[in-house]
Amino acid sequence: MIINPNGDDEWHHPDDFTLKPDGFFTVLRAKAAVDADPRCTNKVSCADILALAARDSVLLSGGPYWPVELGRYDGKVSTRNSVVLPHPDYSLDKLYQMFSAFGLDQTDLVALSGGHTFGAASCAFINNRLYPTTDQTMNPQFANQLRGTCPAALNPNIFVFLDATTFAAFDNAYYKNLQQGKGLLASDQILYNDPRTQGTVNMFASNQGAFFQAFTNAMTKLGRIQVKSALNGEIRRDCRFPN
């Protein structure tokens, strides 16, 4: 959420290029509304609001509810180097190495990847799967459809939905897409193609309730990672700037 005048912040990292301004403005409006109540002024962190907003966006789109643990403080620093996200070309081994470093297991990895039932990705993340030849793990009809949107000449300003089937709903269609070779990112499709995670993908594809339960468990664990306290954080007055 922090904006640095010199542009060295998470907003400007290429991995965050597809994040929409509307999401940031929603958090800013929520923060302003909470702080407008004298009982809550400067008592609720931007980090907690982000966690609640993530839960509510899932719930309002047909997904599960889970109780969000609160009491986080906000960080004071944001740089491009602060961004730690899996890349679309990661192998399963590399994905698991990243997730396990945060105390997340293989089921958490597959469940959290299901968050790609939402959102979009830049063509820059998938062009290497389309050109000069199609990635053999991709459904040929799906590849032709994507080539109609993403030209061979790389254009990072063109986006495609991560789940073109039900992009506005939080459901298990993401996993059904993987079964058909319609995972947009290579790091998505590998979850089905690798026998170590294929069983979990198949279970979530056939049992939405199992996916929802695993997702809420994983989100709770994710929300406990590197939490800031009063010792190393603050409650920002404006989410865009350290106090």
Alpha-carbon Rg for the chain, nearest whole angstrom, is 19
Q: Is 237 helix (H, G, I), strand (E, B) or coil?
A: coil
* 139 and 189 Cβ atoms separated by less than 8 Å: no
CB atoms within 10 A of CB 240: 17
242 is known to lie in a ligand binding site:
no
> How far apart are alpha carbons 105 and 176 in whole angstroms?
22
216 is known to lie in a ligand binding site:
no
Tokens for 130? Answer: 């389309």
117 is known to lie in a ligand binding site:
yes
Provide φ and ψ at 228, rounded to 5°.
-85, 150
* 160 and 123 Cβ atoms separated by less than 8 Å: yes
How many Cα atoms sit within 13 Å of 216 on the Cβ side? Answer: 17
* 116 and 204 Cβ atoms separated by less than 8 Å: no
10 is known to lie in a ligand binding site:
yes
238 is known to lie in a ligand binding site:
no
Sequence ranges of the binding site for substrate:
86
Sequence ranges of the binding site:
10, 86, 116-117, 163, 166, 171
Sequence ranges of the binding site for heme b:
116
Sequence ranges of the binding site for Ca(2+):
10, 117, 163, 166, 171
